[in-house]
A and B are shown apart, each in its own frame.
Chain A
Amino acid sequence: MKISRRNFLKGSATTLFLAGFNFPVLANTTKKKNLVIIMLRGGMDGLCAVPIIGDKNFEKKRKDLILDETIKLNSDFALHPKLKNFYNLWQNNLGAIVHATNIPYTKRSHFDGQNLMETGGHIPYAIKTGWLGRGMKLGELKGDGLALALPMPLLLRGIPSNDNFYPSKKRLPRTELLQLLKSIYAGKSEHDLANMMEIIANRSMMSSGGTSMSRKNSSLALKAGLELKKINGPRVAVFEVDGFDTHAAQGGVNGSHSDSLIEMDSIFKSLEKGLGPEIENTLVLTLTEFGRTIEQNGGRGTEHGYGSAIFMAGGLLKQSQVYTDWPGLRKKELFEGRDLNSTIDARSIYASAMSTVFDIDFKRIQKKVFWGDKLQNLSEKLFKV
């Protein structure tokens, strides 16, 4: 009997998404738990990062982009061979993947897509805050966010007083001057500016200013890991990795998509190093605006697509596994006949992660952060609750 790809996967190693039971979450105040989001900008190709094994449709459509020597994860999926650090986590039960997932956005524009991946909404530019910022607000985590980027990402907006770190090579002005500016801002009801100046003044007191540090994501992740490790340090960190928009020369193992994946991988490694044992109380998730077309284009690249994958890491994961309700890659199984479908709303994973890390009831997050949208509680399935 010939088993269709979809049914085969359903019946084997990969777990189904059944509607999870919503067990009440008990607040756990003894442990500080951390959530890290790595934004992968440009559209991460889930099928390049986590290719399916032995699918003729896939191999035919991507003749020039198929990777050699992938790392086998299970009978159905492999890992991009350059993701060595992630594989290391995987082997220690600290890495997992959700495949064939995306935010509910299907229009293939980066700007709209990135706006929606950060706001978590349905209409581009309609929402001015990020889902993570709103989740933090619900968890009363003011001042607990850290962005490892120069501009503050939209994802963290919705709660004031977030910090960002992207070191300047110059010395800060004296604390006294910073305090004066802070009081000027406060006096003029410039609350955002006053909040910022408060953070800057604290930083100036903590250090002597001009320590020059690398701004590579791997160095920033080490710093972030060390900060997250502190009991009174931030609880949320956000990274950005660019360059996934590989319309041309996406290439194989050494192509341009690999470069961005390697950068992502370096974040996993440095975070683990910086966090030390606190990796056990941390959850790291990736976020992208969409996946890429199955078929390669004229420039040996791929176009904007739909379904992608989420990398997950950290000790709050239940186990190493590829979770998916695999939709298949035959033409009729593809979204609009061209893209990997998304069988799970990625926001279900993020909502469940926030519920787990922030100790907030899933339903509250669903209601307050995602406007009561139909999301599944996957906390029990994916994470250690």
Chain B
Amino acid sequence: MKNFYRKVAFGLGPKDEVPSDPLKWATSQLNEIPEYSWKGKILPEKELRNYYRDYVYGDRKVLRKKFKNDKEGYKREKNKLRHLTGQKFWWNLELCIRHSEALKSQTPVLAKLWYFWGNHFAISEKDFLAQYTTGAYQREVIRANMNQNFEKMVQEATVAWTMIHHLDNNDNVGPKSQEAQWAKEKGRKVGVNENHARELLELHTVSPDCGYTQEDVIQMAYVMSGWRPNWGKKRLETGDVHFNYEYHQPGTKRILGKKYKSGRKSLSAVITDLVNHPSCREYIAMKLCRYFINDNPTKEMMEPIIKAWEKSDGFLPDVHKAVVEVAFNYSDKFKKFQNPENWLLIMSKMSDVELIPTPKLMDLYALGLKPTHEQRSLEYLLRELGHHPYLAKQPNGWSDVSDDWMSPELLIRRLVYAKEAYYKKNRKSQTNEFYEEMVEKNYDNPSEILKTINQQGDLSNKHVILFNLPETLKS
């Protein structure tokens, strides 16, 4: 049962009391969205997007022209521009905010769910989104809606600037729109771009199980045409997302057999229908189970979650409570292989690793400076572990299936970074007593675990073994 603390959160830290009612401990964390536990600077998405603007404008419109015939000069100035716009710093700050929720907050269960939703509405590696806005998008669009209905999260994620840019909806133009007409007169050809429309159906809501066709995807793209950043000479593609009728495909659209009138309101109407489709709740219940419980969720597992969804109309706190309860009921039966980021956080929480740079250190940063190694440590570490949450390879995010994380190199990383983490620990926690207490608190079979790790004399080696035991890798 004690693996439940690692299953739905990150285990119990040295200062955490052992909850008298574990299930209640977990479910009580899910009602509200508390203030961030990170006490340093937090920038709004809009401000970070402005830095992105300054970078793309400066590069594309200024430096490329100015240094047309000077490759070295271009390289040097571009590097300066990177630092002037904080390109190597912001995403590290975002990771501090993100990881504080797991390690320093009173709501680690909410944090683990936040990571799930961030990955569900994933922003994969594209342009410089990860460096500037992905983290902020996950805060302002994903986390902020975790006490709302699922529908609201979908509505907001779909028209979030980062998502629209990520899935190319700025290039999605109705073939019969005014813009297409103008383009034709100028000899340009514009048309539909299905990417975002397809992912809205496939990844974000109903999944292919609902049986939509290629025609549904095209119709969805028509509905989405016109949702694009407000373009400007200086801000380029970084303006706020708005609905521009000149790019919208006129006429009635038909998706999954239902008709929608043309115009601004149609996207929201389609989303309402998609989130209420039975395939949507089944798909999301399956994904939640796969993330928390095991690789192959069963119908019985999914059922209470689907029921909670139906009863509450997709109210996320209720859905989350159902998930946590199912995870609790199955905690002895199924162990879930923890992805590298969650594993890192489990290790840091339980053994008191000072993983996150202090707010004081991060706030020393000023634009134009090159961030220090310490300020960049999280980004570096996650990349090394093979799991940077803002750098998923595809829009379907990082895998929830253990086989995808099972390889020599990935396990090597857990060995070497477990060792490294040990030396980041406070001296007081580098004692045998500390480990005994921690094992007692976090495992159902403490004496067996202690016997196993005590085969090594050196405490740093005990640490490496403990965090690479099957009991820790799988929770």
Contacts and interface: CB of A to CB of B under 8 A. Distances in A.
A177 B470 contact: no
A140 interface: no
A296 interface: yes
B189 interface: yes
A338 to B, nearest CB: 10
B168 A248 contact: yes
B468 A304 contact: no
A157 to B, nearest CB: 6
Contact of A108 (B190, B214, B468, B469): B214
Which of A109, A197, A203 has the most chain B CB atoms inside 10 A of its CB? A109
Given A196-B407, A298-B189, A110 B394 contact: yes
Given A112-B208, A151-B386, A193-B470, A297 B191 contact: yes
Contact of A196 (B189, B191, B395, B411): B411
Contacts of A295: 191
B202 A150 contact: no
Interface stretch (A167-175, A264-272, A309-317): A167-175
A150 B386 contact: yes
Interface in B362-383: none
B214 A109 contact: no
Contact of B412 (A172, A190, A299): A172
B415 interface: yes
B415 A150 contact: no
Interface stretch (B93-101, B396-404, B433-441): B396-404
Interface string A278-314: 0000000000000000011111010110000000000
Contact of B455 (A168, A180, A190): A180
B384 interface: yes
A184 B467 CA distance: 13
Given A110-B394, A151-B399, A299-B171, A173 B411 contact: no
A102 to B, nearest CB: 16
What 4 pairs between A and B have smallest CB-CB spacing?
Answer: A299-B171, A298-B190, A152-B407, A170-B416
Contact of A200 (B214, B405, B412): B412
Contacts of A298: 171-173, 183, 189-193
Contacts of B208: 107, 109, 112, 124
B203 interface: yes
A194 to B, nearest CB: 10
Interface in B185-221: 189-195, 198, 202-203, 208, 214, 217
Nearest to A248: B171
Contacts of A110: 394-396
A217 to B, nearest CB: 14
A242 B170 CA distance: 22
A129 to B, nearest CB: 9
B464 interface: yes
A172 B172 contact: no
A169 B407 contact: no
A171 B191 CA distance: 52
Contact of A184 (B172, B410, B412, B452): B452
A184 B456 CA distance: 13
A111 B415 contact: no
A184 B171 contact: no
Interface in A152-176: 152, 154, 157, 162-173
A373 interface: no
Given A173-B416, A173-B461, A297 B407 contact: no
B461 A169 contact: no
A163 B408 CA distance: 6
Contact of A164 (B170, B191, B408, B452): B408
Given A165-B409, A297-B191, A170 B393 contact: no
Interface residues of A, number: 56
Contacts of B202: 109, 111-112
A95 to B, nearest CB: 28
Given A111-B203, A111-B396, A200 B408 contact: yes
A286 to B, nearest CB: 18
Contacts of A33: none
Interface extent on B, as a size class?
Answer: 35 or more
Nearest to B399: A151
A154 B405 CA distance: 11
B285 to A, nearest CB: 16
Contact of A168 (B198, B396, B413, B470): B413
Contacts of A147: 407
A331 interface: no
A41 interface: yes
Nearest to A204: B412
B403 A168 contact: no
Contacts of B405: 151
Contacts of A248: 168, 171, 193
Contact of A190 (B171, B189, B461, B470): B470
A185 interface: yes
Interface in B266-295: none
Interface string A113-152: 0100000000010001000000000000000000100111
B308 interface: no
A203 to B, nearest CB: 7
Given A41-B393, A128-B403, A203 B452 contact: no
Contacts of B413: 168
Given A169-B384, A181-B468, A184-B452, A304 B415 contact: no
A151 B404 contact: yes
B213 to A, nearest CB: 9
Contacts of A63: 189
22 contacts: A63-B189, A109-B208, A110-B394, A110-B396, A111-B394, A111-B396, A151-B410, A152-B403, A152-B404, A154-B404, A164-B408, A164-B409, A170-B416, A172-B415, A177-B464, A178-B415, A196-B406, A247-B168, A296-B189, A298-B191, A301-B193, A303-B193
Interface in B43-85: none
A66 interface: no
A151 B407 contact: yes
B327 interface: no
B199 to A, nearest CB: 9
Contacts of A203: 408
A199 interface: yes
B111 interface: no
Nearest to A146: B408
Contacts of B411: 193, 196-197, 200
B393 A242 contact: yes
Interface string B228-263: 000000000000000000000000000000000000
B220 to A, nearest CB: 13
Contacts of B468: 181
B465 A181 contact: yes
Nearest to B171: A299
A248 B167 CA distance: 10
Contact of A247 (B173, B195, B404, B465): B195
B420 interface: yes
